[in-house]
Amino acid sequence: MHDTALYTLFMAPFADFAFLRRALAGTLALSVGAAPIGVLLLLRRMSLMGDAMSHAILPGAALGYLAFGLSLWAMTLGGLVAGLAVVFAAGWVSRSSALKEEASLATFYLVSLAAGVMIVSLKGGQLDLLHVLFGSVLALDDASLYLMAGVSTLSLLGLAMLIRPLVMDCFEPAFLRHRSRWSGLAHYGFLLLVVFNLVAAFHALGTLMAVGLMILPAASARLWTQRLTPLLALSIGLAFLSSLGGLLTSFHTDAPAGPAIVLCGGLVYLVSLLGAPHGLIRPRWPARRHLAS
Amino acid sequence: MHAFYFFQCGILRHRGAAVFARALGVGALLFFTALGVQAKPLEVVASFSLLADLVKQVGGERVLVSALAGPDTDAHHFQARPSDARRLGQADIIVMNGLGFDDWMSRLARSSGFSGVLLTVSDGLPYRLKDESGHAHGHSQGHRHAHGSAGQGYDPHAWQDVANVRVYVQAIAQALSTRDPEGRAAYEARARFFLAELDRLDTDIRTALNQLPEERRTVLIQHNAFAYFGQAYGLRILAITGTANHAEASASHLARLVRLIQKEGVAALFLENVRDDRLIQSLQRETGVRIGGRLYSDALSAPQGPAPTYVCLMRHNLSVFVRALAPAEDAPVKAQTPC
């Protein structure tokens, strides 16, 4: 059994190398936490906001790095504070000025990204900047794994509590605001979960690609089904599939691991676009004539 | 009558005063010129901290040397600031390593309007090692970073062999003497003194490493900075990344390294002062091979650290190697030489 091509291709890398098993465990934890969040971002039309926020956490992580070096807790805490600050600042600006939320968020995230790059350049050379931008999924230590597992547990619990107000907010925001005080709480609670997931993901995949495991699987899943529960489950499955595929690709073709995972997610998306029921082709395919008609 | 007398006295006084003033002026001019010739040091800017230390050893008080890439800074990917360009423009001599390590230096010198002497210390080396990162994923990843033209594929870390640093020192002494002929005697004397110290260092390294048994001579380091050291003093150096590249690792490369570590009997893994520790720690978890310590590869340490000068850096690295590689049953191989 150990000699079959299938085993060598799919199982052997993980059986032989602990660092690949850790990478798989970390990305599985990320998938479970981030993909459902991505679905909700998609449904609430906030997908680009997820991307913006992944850059907004950079100056906080950079400050943590400046003060404590490549310390997990310092960078996580810094990233969290920066992400939340940008979220609240953008929300406040959008309510107090002529700019809508997406515009104010765009301004804040651009400023934060530049500030983050500048802060990192202050301390060291380009190497450190690259590690912050790209993460290091093949070098996850125990602390990082615990962080990712903890965040994904937190996400699941948070989503379980907030799913109903959030979904209702997607479709009938006025109704929800009218009927319950949960609307504001749900919105900010959700944003908090987004920031947590991004901060956890950025250690593995870096700020540039942390949002990759959030949006791509969600978008792909959306092309397959319209119902919420299958949507959530399928997004987790596709995220995990992308991670697995990315790690195996990195192993067999010597490609860097982080980008391989996100590109795999892109491949899944492409396949979904072409082959899924709600993608590009199937809705336009001429329907088979039913015998009766 | 009195007026004329006074007038004559006045002229006399003026003339005397004029002569006196002129004498004073000439004397002051000579004095300050002499002072200036002695007191104004040569301004030398080196590309990185190690070269700056070598220049300081040779030049002493006659030079004012600074480095662009300071202690604990990665010079492969140095980002220059406007103040650096300004410093270069005012320098008398620029010292760089060459071989692709610091090509940004020559570009920066050109753009800063530098008009002095640009010394590339590796020009006179008797031998160069080829960049051995063919098998590593370093160069196959492409040159994403501006580490220059890669010096025709040579490994630039020549300073890890003390014999090469002798060549560096002689080149530096020559350049300083050419630019400042009055100081030639001083430079040559200091260079002779420092070369003697380098000879002692070389002997000590050979003595210490010759005592290691054959099976304890393979090590793994973060980036391929010790090839010259390995070749000169008899260690087998493996590296995670090539001589300059350290972009994203791929899973297959790490897997190859794990197998290599297990097959080749690597005795210890080593961290570096200018590199990220996580990949080495990942390999340590995977293979169980211990981490022997932190080496100083491409930069000196801060003044209060263990490697503030070149000689200290080499002695510190030597003691890290010896402590990690000496067989457990031996008594400590040599006392640490304070530096």
- Summarised one tens digit per residue, pLDDT across range A108-133 is 888 988 888 888 777 655 556 666 66
Q: Does B73 touch chain A (CB under 8 A)?
A: yes
By residue count, chain B amounts to 339
Q: Does B291 touch chain A (CB under 8 A)?
A: no
Q: Are the beta carbons of B219 and B113 closer than 8 angstroms?
A: no
Per CB-CB distance under 8 Å, the chain B contacts of A9 are none
Q: Rounded to the nearest 5 degrees, what angle is found at the Cα of A268, between the Cα atoms of B142 and A48?
A: 80
Distances in whole angstroms, Cα of residue B25 to Cα of each of B17, B18, B29, B250 = 12, 10, 6, 73
Q: Are the beta carbons of A232 and A36 closer than 8 angstroms?
A: yes
Helix (H, G, I), strand (E, B) or coil at B126: coil
Distance linking the first and last C-alpha atoms of chain B: 82
Share of chain A above pLDDT 90, in %: 29
DSSP class of B270: E
Residue at token pair 């210390």: B121
Helix (H, G, I), strand (E, B) or coil at B219: strand
Residue in chain A closest to B80 (alpha carbons) equals: A125
Q: Is the pLDDT of residue B264 over 60?
A: yes
Q: Does A164 touch chain B (CB under 8 A)?
A: no
pLDDT at B33: 57
Cβ contact B255–A18 (<8 Å): no
Q: Is the pLDDT of residue B11 over 70?
A: no
Q: Does B118 touch chain A (CB under 8 A)?
A: no
Q: B115 vs B157, which has greater pLDDT?
A: B157
Per CB-CB distance under 8 Å, the chain B contacts of A19 are 251, 254, 258, 282-283, 285-286
pLDDT in tens, B305-338: 899 999 999 999 999 999 998 876 665 555 455 5
pLDDT in tens, B195-227: 999 999 999 999 999 988 888 899 998 888 899
pLDDT at A224: 94
Residue in chain A closest to B140 (alpha carbons) equals: A254
Strands, DSSP E only, in B41-133?
42-48, 63-69, 93-96, 117-120
Nearest CB among A125, A130, A260 relative to B247 is that of A130
Question: What distance in Å separates the CA atoms of residue B122 and residue B104, rounded to the nearest whole number?
Answer: 16
Q: Does B137 touch chain A (CB under 8 A)?
A: yes
Share of chain B above pLDDT 70, in %: 77
Maximal C-alpha separation, chain A:
74
Tell me the nearest-neighbour CA distance from A65 into chain B, angstroms. Answer: 12
Question: What distance in Å separates the CA atoms of residue A209 and residue B248, rounded to the nearest whole number?
Answer: 13
State the average pLDDT over residues A221-228: 93
DSSP string, A136-149: -GGG--HHHHHHHH
Nearest to B99 by CA among B69, B66, B125: B125
Q: Which residue out of B48, B147, B250, B256 would a mutagenesis test of the A interface target, given it has the greatest number of A Cβ atoms within 10 Å?
A: B250
Q: What strands, in cross-sheet order, belong to the sheet with B291-295?
A: B236-241, B218-223, B268-272, B291-295
Cβ contact B282–A138 (<8 Å): yes
Residue in chain A closest to B279 (alpha carbons) equals: A139
Nearest to B136 by CA among B274, B235, B245: B245
Cβ contact B76–A250 (<8 Å): no
Q: Which residue out of A129, A138, A203 would a mutagenesis test of the B interface target, given it has the greatest number of B Cβ atoms within 10 Å?
A: A138
pTM across the whole model: 0.75
Non-local (6+) Cβ contacts of B117 within 8 A are: B92, B93, B94, B175, B178, B179
Non-local (6+) Cβ contacts of B64 within 8 A are: B41, B42, B43, B44
Number of H helices, E strands in chain A: 14, 0
Consecutive H or E run containing B218: strand B218-223
Q: Does A19 touch chain B (CB under 8 A)?
A: yes
Q: Does A250 touch chain B (CB under 8 A)?
A: yes
Question: What distance in Å separates the CA atoms of residue A71 and residue A90, rounded to the nearest whole number?
Answer: 28
Nearest CB among B137, B140, B276 relative to A70 is that of B276
Q: B178 vs B17, which has greater pLDDT?
A: B178
Q: Rounded to the nearest 5 degrees, what angle is found at the Cα of B319, between the Cα atoms of B314 and B324?
A: 130
Cβ contact B279–A256 (<8 Å): no
Q: Is the pLDDT of residue B34 over 70?
A: no
Distance linking the first and last C-alpha atoms of chain A: 53
Q: Which residue out of B252, B287, B291, B294 would a mutagenesis test of the A interface target, given it has the greatest number of A Cβ atoms within 10 Å?
A: B252
Tell me the nearest-neighbour CA distance from B48 into chain A, angstroms. Answer: 13
Query: How many of the other CB atoms lie within 10 Å of CB of B29?
Result: 10
Q: Does B102 touch chain A (CB under 8 A)?
A: no
Q: What strands, in cross-sheet order, belong to the sheet with B42-48?
A: B63-69, B42-48, B93-96, B117-120
Residue in chain B closest to A247 (alpha carbons) equals: B251
Per CB-CB distance under 8 Å, the chain A contacts of B252 are 250-254
Consecutive H or E run containing A169: helix A142-171
- pLDDT level of residue A100 (50, 70, 90 thresholds): confident
Q: Does B251 touch chain A (CB under 8 A)?
A: yes
Q: Does B74 touch chain A (CB under 8 A)?
A: yes
pLDDT in tens, A72-94: 788 888 888 988 888 888 777 77
Cβ contact A125–B76 (<8 Å): yes
Non-local (6+) Cβ contacts of B162 within 8 A are: B198, B201, B202, B205, B232, B314
pLDDT in tens, B105-124: 888 888 888 888 899 999 98
CB–CB contacts below 8 A, A to B: 98
Q: Are the beta carbons of A126 and A72 closer than 8 angstroms?
A: no
Q: Are the beta carbons of B306 and B255 closer than 8 angstroms?
A: no
Q: Does B135 touch chain A (CB under 8 A)?
A: no
Q: Is B114 left (phi over 0), alpha (psi -120 to 50) or beta?
A: beta
CA torsion through residues A208, A212, A215, A216, sign: positive
A146 backbone dihedrals φ, ψ, rounded to 5° = -65, -40
Number of H helices, E strands in chain B: 10, 8
Interstrand relation of B63-69 and B117-120 (parallel, antiparallel or unpaired)? unpaired
Q: What is the mean pLDDT of chain A?
A: 84
Q: Are the beta carbons of B60 and B190 closer than 8 angstroms?
A: yes
Question: What distance in Å separates the CA atoms of residue B98 and residue B102, rounded to the nearest whole number?
Answer: 6
Cβ contact A127–B276 (<8 Å): yes
Residue at token pair 């997990």: A72
Q: Does B79 touch chain A (CB under 8 A)?
A: yes
Per CB-CB distance under 8 Å, the chain B contacts of A250 are 250-252
Q: Is the pLDDT of residue B36 over 60?
A: no
- pLDDT level of residue B144 (50, 70, 90 thresholds): very low
pLDDT in tens, B55-92: 999 999 999 999 998 888 888 878 788 888 888 888 99
Residue in chain B closest to A126 (alpha carbons) equals: B77
Nearest to B310 by CA among B319, B301, B321: B301
